Chain A
Amino acid sequence: MAVVPLERKPLTFAERTYLPQIAEGLRTTWRHLVRPKTTLEYPEQRPAVPAGYRGVPTLVKDPNGREKCVSCQLCEFVCPPKAIRITPGGIAEDSAHAHVEKAPREFEIDMLRCIYCGMCQEVCPEEAIWLQSQYSMTGYSREEMVNNKARLYELGGTLPDEHFKWDHKKAAEERGGGHH
């Protein structure tokens, strides 16, 4: 690295009176004063949530209205803060979705424990649990901060499905055995 000696020029008289600099500074602050404000006034104005945002974890249904979770409990096992608790259950024989073996009887996510890491979404083989765009989660009691199954489906809603894995499986079975 070459050393470049810079000559420090002595201040001119105008500079030593501070005044031109102060006038220039006043001009700058005035520009800021009249500029439109960039503040987002939160409760009324909400920020646009980017795609792929990891918000509150939710459970989703497929476009046919079937709950996707099969209560394999992988999310429960992978959850680092142990926020998820699943009570597995069966599906009634006369249900339209009886070919899917299991569904959760109860599914609770304790939002006081959840760290929004998204590992549950990553591990889910059924793409049933999604961290969606809700970023604010409040409540007046500890009980309120535990999302039960009904609430999780309410928050999650329906997401498009690319696979319809269980329907393909059922169709393949009806065609005469074999896998897919």
Chain B
Amino acid sequence: MRMGGIRVPHRKNTDRCQSVRLEVPKTVTIPMSMHIGKYARVVVKKGDTVKVGQLIGEADGFVSANIHSSVSGTVRKIDEIMTSNGAKVSCVVIDSDGKQEKYENIVPPKISDFDSFVKAVKESGVVGLGGAGFPSFVKLNVHDLNKVDAVIINAAECEPYITSDTRTMVEKGGYVFKGIELLRKYMGVSRFIIGTENNKREALEAMKRLADKTEGVEIHVLPSVYPQGGEKVLIYNTIRRLIPRGGLPLDVGVIVVNVTTLAFIAEYIETGMPLVEKCLTVDGSAVKEPKNVIAPIGMSIADLAEAAGGLKCEPAKILYGGPMMGITVPSMDEPVLKNTNAVIFMDKKEAAPPKITACISCGACAAHCPFRLDPRSIARAYKLEDGAALEKLAVDLCMECGCCSYVCPAHRPLVQTNKLGKQMLKKYLSAKQAQKENDLKERSVRERQEKEAKK
């Protein structure tokens, strides 16, 4: 059995570009939501002096993340910005003094057991750096550690353009393996699998060299087929386990962690410096020289473009992340986020949307779906507002990788319909549930009335 997928152009122009640290911008704008979950609570006020690594936003609620200042300087204001999905979120705007002074209280965390390890990960503010932005401590805080028999380290980096994970493996390979040792020690896992694509030769060699010296680390070199780095795809292609519908990797005894996230956790535990900067790829047809940079979180996209060498032309579209699943940046004032692994600047030609034509029923969408869904039928069911059909077609399995939209010769917006279909299915299921409960209630009322009537 094979999972579907597509061959996309790699465009890994930057895989040999050593990452360079950018100069600190004059101001940074740090939003309180750079993760999945509840927004963090601002803990500084206008006029406060902050230093690099100082807490400015505190995790609020169970799924949330700490946020730290990426510069030293003064808080200019607490503002509100619009995120890419249109929601308003408060942000801390800091004027940098250019000194980049380290916060005094930064010391390596003391770790003695699993709980203190998870606490340290929480305090570092780290979220899934592969792009998902899910708070890492929530993922690692497994209640029953016996259930986990393998950790898969996601180093597939299957999106075109992006090479920041590749550079992590080359430049910070040591930390990746220190991270492995941490998980081994505190989570009791003995089997580690590094899943990567075969187009990363340099990174692969670095990983192999280190793996030879470490016990229980397997390296799986997978074909460069998008979406190899999709969590469920990676689990299936490395250890042949299929996650049940609606389930999590933990249901099959696996934790998947991004390679850069793991390296960061190890680095944090050694230095105590929280997540304040990010290695990211700057590329795309509008960029003068593609490169990998280390940028402070909160740096504006405009500053980033400038500091990374400038643009060839006015960009028509800018992306957080890669071209397959990336999110469009609404304006050049938007900041670099924790989970930004690339910023792609596209010129007019690259950004031009293709013309949508009639479906010719070629079946390419279904043939390439990793989960063997049928986007053509899903689109039809969505149009007919047929919730039952959507449930049968398992639209909820769709991970929105975009293979269907990519391969469609009629360029139909299939993944977009899938997303809408998922929402429609949710509504349908909750309505169905409510109906069921209502029926039960009515029945019990009727039965009671009948009983009373008999009396």
Do A and B pair up? The answer is: no
